């Protein structure tokens, strides 16, 4: 398995290079346009909507770029498991260092999920409820009308953007991790729905490039799967 390699066509190698540059420039543009910092706690609703739409297309595209790059370099043997020492105790300093570490980009996609799962029941809302001033009740923001300038928590999306940027800046680390997982008896990438790259925020040509990378990754993946 360690000798198995993949030789990409010239157009796929160019598509990987193009997509990596597109995503890097897009991350820089989003941060400068909306003033997003690693510690930004809140953002307007319209900014969160733009950020969510970008990440929905950028994260799968980056995973396929990294996967094809790892496949071209070839699989590596899986590292030996590290046995934890029973005498090792956690220190307060370890928790501080762990919390200050940059977010890690998720390389492996989850399964397809249950096909027979029923959707959640529809909820009907008639507006804000009556609350007593002396009651300990947390307001539900979904009971109020949504406006584009509403200030909402942004921590989850900001961390996903930071993880995407971390993967773009440290591609060699993620590619090495992927090379060690290439021979795993499971699919690392799941098929993408046809509607994901139908329209923006990526341009039409960029969406076509992302679809080409998806088709190539799904075609290559069975050759490395050891199941």
Domain boundaries, the chain: 1-78+159-227
How far is the C-alpha of 190 from the C-alpha of 167, rounded, in Å? 19
Question: Quick one: average pLDDT of 73-100?
Answer: 64
* pLDDT-based confidence at residue 78 (cuts at 50, 70, 90): confident
151 bridge partner residues: 44
Question: Side-chain half-sphere of 116: how many Cα atoms within 13 Å?
Answer: 0
* pLDDT-based confidence at residue 187 (cuts at 50, 70, 90): confident
Count CB atoms within 10 A of the CB of residue 60.
21
Residue 106: pLDDT above 60?
A: yes
Write the CB contacts of 155 (distance below 8 Å, at least 6 apart in sequence): 41
Residue 10: pLDDT above 60?
A: yes
* 35 dihedral zone (left: phi>0; alpha: psi -120 to 50; beta): left
Residue 92: pLDDT above 70?
A: no
Residue 205: pLDDT above 60?
A: yes
Among 47, 103, 98, 65, CA closest to 209: 65
How far is the C-alpha of 127 from the C-alpha of 146, rounded, in Å? 11
* Of the listed ranges 50-64, 87-101, 130-144, the one predicted with least confidence: 87-101
Alpha helices (runs of H) in the chain, residue ranges in sequence order: 10-34, 45-73, 92-99, 155-169, 171-181, 204-224
Write the CB contacts of 47 (distance below 8 Å, at least 6 apart in sequence): 34, 36, 154
pLDDT of residue 173: 96
Residue 42, helix vs strand vs coil: strand
pLDDT of residue 130: 65
* Of the listed ranges 55-59, 123-127, 218-222, the one predicted with least confidence: 123-127
* pLDDT-based confidence at residue 131 (cuts at 50, 70, 90): low
Is 215 exposed, middle or buried (CB count within 10 Å of its CB: 0-12, 13-18, 19+)? middle
* pLDDT-based confidence at residue 116 (cuts at 50, 70, 90): low
pLDDT of residue 90: 52
Q: How far is CA 205 from CA 23, 24, 39, 61, in A?
A: 14, 17, 33, 13
pLDDT greater at residue 169 or residue 117: 169
pLDDT of residue 183: 78
């Amino acid at each position: 398995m360690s000798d198995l390699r993949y030789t990409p066509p010239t157009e796929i190698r160019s598509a990987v290079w193009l997509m990596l540059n597109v995503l890097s420039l897009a991350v820089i543009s989003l941060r400068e346009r909306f003033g997003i910092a690693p510690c930004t706690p809140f953002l307007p609703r319209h900014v969160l909507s733009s950020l969510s739409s970008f990440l929905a297309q950028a994260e799968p595209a980056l995973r396929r770029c990294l996967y094809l790059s790892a496949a071209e370099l070839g699989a590596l043997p899986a590292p030996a498991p590290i046995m934890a020492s029973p005498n090792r105790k956690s220190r307060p300093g370890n928790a501080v260092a762990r919390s200050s570490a940059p977010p890690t980009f998720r390389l492996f996609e989850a399964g397809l999920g249950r096909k027979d799962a029923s959707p959640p029941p529809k909820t009907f809302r008639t507006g804000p409820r009556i609350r007593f001033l002396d009651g300990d009740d947390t307001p539900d923001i979904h009971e109020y009308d949504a406006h584009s300038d509403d200030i909402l928590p942004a921590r989850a999306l900001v961390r996903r953007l930071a993880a995407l940027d971390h993967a773009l800046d440290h591609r060699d680390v993620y590619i090495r991790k992927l090379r060690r997982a290439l021979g795993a008896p499971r699919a690392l990438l799941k098929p993408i729905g046809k509607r994901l790259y139908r329209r923006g925020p990526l341009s039409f040509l960029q969406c076509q490039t992302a679809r080409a990378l998806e088709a190539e990754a799904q075609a290559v993946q069975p050759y490395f799967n050891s199941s």
